Homo-oligomer: A and B are copies of this chain.
């Protein structure tokens, strides 16, 4: 079995072997060729490229260089995959390769997050892994099993797709609401010289999810899942990383889930012409059958009214209100707001769409699993 290993203590650019990249571009060379039916073992660094240490000092979060995100392992060239095909990827297994992970709150000035207006200061929580469970000295009172998953997996875009992405994101880049290509910290596998310069100047950042999958941060793409990706270039050029030990829906703190250095076992297959046949725009997937079983949930509603302002069917606002309602509640149970924020982004909380047609208020919900707490947090 092909095995791609990393040294978990060393940033991507300094690994002994070239094992990955941190931008999306069709010309990043594949690190290996895989045949349909073959299974591979791939390790990956954490999404912040080894910048975070297992300690109680938050300065690494404060000073983070976000342009080094996300060190992805790959690309893998899948023999026979052509544009218009569906690449079938079986996430056969996934897990950590070091005994701890981290969650953080980026400072509002450097990274921010979904609730940055409420929690503008940086914070950090280290999570120790105990087999399937995790606990944190920074968020006492909880212990839970995580749903491991890759925050980011996807196929390489074609040049046409890449140009489309850059073009449509440009207006938001101008407002500081999207990330532009950034050559200084680009790592593009074995590319060198003029090729490197050309690609680095136009390669998309890995921050957002897009038509190739990418940084979807969907916790349900967990072990045993089968994902169907549109293929945009010959060989598909599949990559993945940003592995999470656990995450709540939304990855609301941005930094992020319980971020880990880990491994994936992957299998591959191809459905010829599947994109047109099934009218695929974004990847689709069948979640794996191995769930963490929770019986009891406490659910919080949010509607799109914030600071007295009535928004028009805005699910983003509604979800933020649901999150804040949950956090407010948790502060009545002995957690600080920051702890509650980090808990929501880290634990297997579910974020759902409620009514999305009942003008003018969208409703969203946050479902908090009650069994992660060491005491009952229900109202009495």
* Interface of A toward B, CB cutoff 8 Å: 1, 39, 86, 88, 90-93, 99, 113-114, 130-133, 145, 151, 168-169, 171-172, 175, 177-179, 207-211, 213, 215-218, 220, 223-224, 228, 249-254, 256, 265, 267, 271, 274, 277-303, 305, 308-310, 312-316, 318-319, 321-322, 325, 328-329, 331-332, 350-365, 367, 370-371, 378-380
**Chain B residues in 8 Å Cβ range of A332:** 277-279
Asked if B353 and A319 sit within 8 Å, CB to CB, the answer is: yes
CA A300 to CA B365, docked complex, whole Å: 19
**Chain B residues in 8 Å Cβ range of A281:** 321, 325, 328
The 7 closest A-B pairs by CB, nearest first: A92-B131, A93-B131, A217-B355, A295-B295, A351-B353, A315-B315, A208-B361
Asked if B130 and A267 sit within 8 Å, CB to CB, the answer is: yes
**A151 to B, closest residue via Cβ:** B355
CA A292 to CA B86, docked complex, whole Å: 27
Interface pairs (15), CB distance under 8 Å:
A130-B265, A131-B224, A172-B360, A178-B359, A207-B358, A217-B354, A218-B355, A277-B379, A279-B329, A283-B301, A286-B378, A313-B316, A315-B319, A319-B356, A350-B352
Which of B114, B295, B314 is close to A356, meaning CB atoms less than 8 Å apart?
A: B114
CA A274 to CA B329, docked complex, whole Å: 11
Q: How distant is A328 from chain B, measured CB to nearest CB, in Å?
A: 4
Asked if A290 and B289 sit within 8 Å, CB to CB, the answer is: no
Asked if A355 and B290 sit within 8 Å, CB to CB, the answer is: no
**Chain B residues in 8 Å Cβ range of A280:** 325, 329
Given A215-B358, A217-B363, A359-B208, decide whether A293 and B289 contact each other with a Cβ distance below 8 A: yes
Given A172-B310, A356-B251, decide whether A208 and B303 contact each other with a Cβ distance below 8 A: yes
CA A325 to CA B213, docked complex, whole Å: 14
**Chain B residues in 8 Å Cβ range of A175:** 312
CA A274 to CA B332, docked complex, whole Å: 11
Which of B93, B208, B251, B292 is close to A290, meaning CB atoms less than 8 Å apart?
A: B292
CA A292 to CA B224, docked complex, whole Å: 10
CA A99 to CA B279, docked complex, whole Å: 37
Asked if A282 and B133 sit within 8 Å, CB to CB, the answer is: no
Asked if A209 and B363 sit within 8 Å, CB to CB, the answer is: yes
Asked if A172 and B359 sit within 8 Å, CB to CB, the answer is: yes
CA A288 to CA B168, docked complex, whole Å: 44
Asked if A358 and B208 sit within 8 Å, CB to CB, the answer is: yes
Asked if A224 and B92 sit within 8 Å, CB to CB, the answer is: no
**Chain B residues in 8 Å Cβ range of A278:** 329, 332, 379
Asked if B298 and A295 sit within 8 Å, CB to CB, the answer is: no
Q: How distant is A17 from chain B, measured CB to nearest CB, in Å?
A: 23
**Chain B residues in 8 Å Cβ range of A169:** 310, 360
Which of B145, B215, B316 is close to A315, meaning CB atoms less than 8 Å apart?
A: B316
CA A329 to CA B282, docked complex, whole Å: 11
CA A81 to CA B294, docked complex, whole Å: 32
**Chain B residues in 8 Å Cβ range of A367:** 220, 287
